[in-house]
Amino acid sequence: MSPLFATSLSQHRVASLIAHHECMAITFVAVAAMWAAGIRTVNGWSLAVACAMLALSLFADCRRTAELAALRSEVATHVERTSELRSVLLPVWSAHIEDSRAQMESAVSASTGHFAAIVERLDKALGTSAAESGRDQAASVLAQSERDLSPVLGSLSAAMASNRATQDEVQSLGRFAQELDAMAAEVAAIASKTSLLAINVAIEAAHAGDAGRSFGVLALEVRKLAAMSGETGRQMATRVGVIVAAIDGARRSAEASAQREASSIGASQVAINGVLDNFRSVLDELESSTETLTRESFAIQGEIMESLVQLQFQDRVSQRMTYVRENIERTAPRVIEIRQTFEQFGVLEAVDSENLLAERQTTYATVDEHATHSCAAGGGAQVGAVEDVTFFQAPLLSILFQTTSKYSWQRPS
């Protein structure tokens, strides 16, 4: 029971008690007058006055009884309407507040989940962005390495070709040395034949006697010349043998060097190609990281968009809370007006809950507000009739990341 209604009810109770005591006093006076008239002298005036006073007492008592009955009816009506205020209007307010709280909790939970996913995706994106940051530098290093290694491979190939040409020259010198050896052998053979011819000439000169003495001197000189030629041939053969051995050793060394260089060049080419392949593999991984980063960026964008939509619950909750607050603010002046009317005119009015609910219902802007009102007013369990509100459309995705001044949802006027 409100303090205002308790004060008014106390005033009516005091007035009723005073009126009841007045009726009792009038009745007592009437009875006393009748008794006095019966004891002393019974005349017409005394009896008339006693009857009149008794009638007035009965009339006053009936009037006060009717007023008390009316008061009791008004009090019963007031209590009934006040009970309606508690059982009809307040449950609707409570339902709206609870529904708003549930929407807030659901939206905050959803936003928390979305932002957790955003954090996870950002962590993954940051892990790939570290590799992405060196992609251009790695590509530049690869291109520069290819430019630097290509001349090296060319130089190695040219050196290998030069060594092959040197080997061919050494082999040709070997063949020339073999020809010199053959020529030395021919010189030795000629010296041997010349020496044999000189011996034959000397023999013939000895047979000729004095006539062949001159031929004997000539044959001696020819033998000397043949001996010298044979010695020269042997020296030439010895020198040619040394030269041939040296050329052959140089040829074998050149061939071994060519083989080593060919093996080294082949290993160098394999190593260089392996390095370049590793660089290409790194670039491929960087490209894959770039694709992952781009894909995660789009996913993060979608999560942020969903979070922005979820965060629009604040406007709807604020709207409904504002309606409830305005409704409560309109109820308080009405209670004060009822008290003032009762104090001035003695008429006890009740709060019109149906009118307040009707005024509240005219301010609804969404389907879920009407559903909450109907379920709460009907006393049934609240169902999840939540309106699907489209806050943003797909073409506006890029605009949302360029402006932040049009995010709030406007309530229709």
Q: Tell me the domains of the chain and their CATH numbers.
A: 3-132+312-400 (no CATH), 134-296 (1.10.287.950)
Task: Quickly state the pLDDT bin for 137 (edges 50, 70, 90).
Answer: low
> 177-187 pLDDT, tens per residue?
777 777 777 77
The pLDDT score that the predictor gives to residue 346 is 66
Per-residue pLDDT for 26 more than 70? no
Average pLDDT for 373-395: 49
Task: Specify the residue for token string 């059982």.
Answer: 87
State the average pLDDT for the chain. 68
Task: Quickly state the pLDDT bin for 390 (edges 50, 70, 90).
Answer: very low
Of 390 and 337, the one with more pLDDT: 337
Per-residue pLDDT for 401 more than 60? no
Per-residue pLDDT for 28 more than 60? no
Average pLDDT for 327-338: 73
Task: Quickly state the pLDDT bin for 81 (edges 50, 70, 90).
Answer: low
> 182-204 pLDDT, tens per residue?
777 777 777 777 777 777 777 77
> 304-327 pLDDT, tens per residue?
777 777 666 667 777 777 777 777
Task: Quickly state the pLDDT bin for 356 (edges 50, 70, 90).
Answer: confident
Per-residue pLDDT for 151 more than 60? yes
Of 291 and 133, the one with more pLDDT: 291
The pLDDT score that the predictor gives to residue 381 is 44
Per-residue pLDDT for 44 more than 60? no
* Whole-number percent of the chain with pLDDT over 70: 59
Task: Specify the residue for token string 């004891």.
Answer: 39
- Name the least confident of 149-163, 211-225, 244-258, 393-407: 393-407
> 54-64 pLDDT, tens per residue?
667 666 777 77
Average pLDDT for 77-100: 67
Average pLDDT for 141-155: 71
Task: Quickly state the pLDDT bin for 301 (edges 50, 70, 90).
Answer: confident
Task: Read off the pTM.
Answer: 0.40
352, two tokens? 């019109």
Side chain identity at 362, as an amino acid letter? T
Q: Distance between CA atoms of 30 and 102, rounded to whole angstroms?
A: 72
314, two tokens? 């604040």
Average pLDDT for 13-34: 53
Secondary structure of the chain in HEC code, one letter for each residue: CCHHHHHHHHHHHHHHHHHHHHHHHHHHHHHHHHHHHHHCCCCHHHHHHHHHHHHHHHHHHHHHHHHHHHHHHHHHHHHHHHHHHHHHHHHHHHHHHHHHHHHHHHHHHHHHHHHHHHHHHHHHHHHHHHHHHCHHHHHHHHHHHHHHHHHHHHHHHHHHHHHHHHHHHHHHHHHHHHHHHHHHHHHHHHHHHHHHHHHHHHHHHHHHHHHHHHHHHHHHHHHHHHHHHHHHHHHHHHHHHHHHHHHHHHHHHHHHHHHHHHHHHHHHHHHHHHHHHHHHHHHHHHHHHHHHHHHHHHHHHHHHHHHHHHCCHHHHHHHHHHHHHHHHHHHHHHHHHHHHHHHHHCCCCCCCHHHHHHHHHCCCCCHHHHHHHHHHHHCCCCCCCCCCCCCCCHHHHHHHCCCCCCCCCCCCC
* Whole-number percent of the chain with pLDDT over 90: 0
Average pLDDT for 224-243: 78
Most confident option among 45-54, 149-158, 185-194: 185-194
- Name the least confident of 137-141, 212-216, 366-370: 137-141
Of 103 and 55, the one with more pLDDT: 103
Per-residue pLDDT for 5 more than 50? no
